[in-house]
Structure 1
Amino acid sequence: MVVRTEAIVLKSIPFRETSRLVTLYTLKLGKLTTVARGAQSRKNQFGSTLQVLSHVQAVIYTRPTRSIQVLTNCAHITVHPGISHDLKRLAIGQRICELVLALTEEGVDSSGIFHLITRTLGALGDSATDAVLVQLYFQLHLTAALGFGPSFTRDEVERIDDSSGYLLLDTGTISPEAETGSRSLAASRDVLRAFAILYRADFDVVLRMRLTDKQRQGLYTLVTRFMRYHVQEAYPERGEEVLSQILGLASKV
């Protein structure tokens, strides 16, 4: 069956002498491993479309009995020079791909995750946005798409006093007190409110948020620790270490 679909290139590596193995996250088929035959030959028809983070229109020949499908054609839909020309934004974009590769299943259709990726990359390519905030938005909303997003009410957020409160890692609940038998992280009221806005507010509102360096560090810790707690061994640790060094942040394990 021939499928035409939008896709994001998550990974692209040489395969044999003239081809490439390309992992895509597609709108119609979810995550998919494909082979682009001739992609490394002199008569390469794919050009720059197989670069990681490319948003493309892909034509894929699929068979249910094959683990690797055939990518027959690719054309750019959106190019993000604002990402490729900025080291921090490029590192965040690569981290987004790494998380999707590690935490999603092959062949499971999720248009929600696809649109989350494209929305995030669009914002990441804008030099006016807070790149770290964009990354944390992606991570927190990916947890929801995977079925373990935070669960809190507005009243719970409002009950946090001026000193501090807690994020309960198992449920994602925001509480003024740590609960016995539950893993929790202490954070300031401002950071917990930022966590709530990051998860519940419209993306345009999130992009207008302004954080101090201290608040950004606190929010980075909450989101990173929350995701790591739920995915355990599947969490790609090495990439986290590299990114935190580039950004000058740490999840404070």
Structure 2
Amino acid sequence: MIKKTEALVLRRKEFRETSLLLTLFTKDFGKINGLAKGVRTESSQWGSSFPLFSHNAIVFYFRRGLNLITEAELLRDFSKGISPLNKNIFASYLVELVDAIFPVEDKNEPIFNMLLEIFRLFEKEEDIEKLVHIFELKLLQLTGFSPRLDTCINCKKVITKYASFSHKRGGLLCQNCTSLDKEASMVMPGTIFTLKYIFKEPFENLSTRFRMNNLIKEELRYILTRFLDYHLDNPTSLGQLVSKFS
């Protein structure tokens, strides 16, 4: 069965002498694995060589397991704009995160659109860490993993000021309940406000207008790394490396 869609390149691996094995996140079918035969030959008639992070229009034969990609048109190559080392590491981390969370053929157009927009923003935005934390939180929200922030996850008391973040319990503990989780981390009121604001606002508003100070970024980096590592079956190998570039 022949299918057409738009696709972002998550992974690419050389296969034999002329082909590529690809992991793509598509607009209409979610994550798929595909084989592009002959794409690496000098006489190739392909309209794209599938650079990492690139946006492509593709045609493929739908098969369970490994799809056969037959046509491609490069719509935008983000690899050059994301070429500085820090941007490349952050982009690779987000790609790895999406790959770890989504099974094959689980359609999610909002995630596709958000990943496409984040690649666009990486080309021009200087505060890359802000974008990464916004993406992480919106990804959790859109996949149903967002932590509870309005009330204490133990006693249900409304959180008004100081609280601790429990990555194991999946949300905030009030001051009276903090002792229930010795690994819970105290978070500033400003960080709690930032978390709530990001979950409330549309991604497009946050990516362009929202500012985040270094203390809040530091707290988000710490609690999100622990939260994601705890709740993902296969924690991303880039998480610690990303922290070094933050």
CA distance in 1 between partners of 2:114 and 2:205 (Å): 16
Q: What are structure 1's unaligned runs of at least 5 residues?
A: 248-253
* In 1: Cα distance, 2:100 partner to 2:62 partner: 23
Q: Is contact 1:25–1:32 with CA below 8 Å preserved after alignment?
A: yes
Amino acid at match of 1:24: L
Q: Which whole-Å CA distance do the structure 1 matches of 2:204 and 2:103 have between them?
A: 29
* CA–CA separation in structure 1 for the residues paired with 2:13 and 2:132: 24
- Equivalent position SS for 1:42: coil
Q: 1:84 to 1:134 in 2, by over 3 A?
A: same
- In structure 2, how many angstroms separate the alpha carbons of the residues matched to 1:17 and 1:215? 48
Supply the distance in 2 between the matched residues of 1:115 and 1:74 (Cα, whole angstroms).
19
SS at match of 1:25: strand
> Hey, what does 1:251 align to over in structure 2?
none
Which structure features the higher share of helix residues?
1
Gaps of 5+ in 2: none
The 3-state SS of whatever aligns with 1:122 is helix
**Matches of 1:49 and 1:199, distance apart in 2:** 37
Q: Any residues of structure 2 matched to 1:57-206 within 5 Å, and which? A: 57-63=57-63, 66-80=64-78, 83-128=81-126, 130-153=127-150, 159-161=159-161, 164-170=162-168, 172-177=170-175, 178-179=177-178, 181-182=180-181, 184-206=184-206
- Residue equivalent to 1:250: none
Q: Deviations over 1:3-53 (max 9, x none)?
A: 110110000110011101011011111111100000111122336541110
Which residue identity does 1:150 align to in structure 2?
P
Q: Equivalences for 1:234-253 in 2 at 5 Å?
A: 234-236=234-236, 238-247=237-246
Change (3 A) 1:37 1:14: same
10-19 or 133-142, which deviates more: 133-142
Q: Secondary structure at the match of 2:60?
A: strand
Task: Kindly indicate whether the alpha-carbon contact (under 8 Å) linking 2:164 and 2:178 is maintained by their aligned counterparts in 1.
Answer: no
Taking the aligned partners of 1:242 and 1:83, their CA distance within structure 2 comes to 20
Deviations 1:199-251 (A, max 9, x none): 222224423232332221112112222222211x4111x3112222233xxxx
User: Which moved further from structure 2: 148-157 or 133-142?
Assistant: 148-157
**Could you say what the CA RMSD is over the residues aligned between the two structures, in angstroms?**
2.6
Q: Is the 8 A contact 2:149 2:159 kept in 1?
A: no
Aligned residues: 240
Residues of 2 paired with 1:45 and 1:154: CA distance?
A: 58
Contact kept? 1:19, 1:35, Cα under 8 Å:
yes
Identity of aligned residues (%): 22
Further displaced range: 95-104 or 166-175: 166-175
Give the distance between the partners of 2:46 and 2:91, measured in 1 at CA.
21
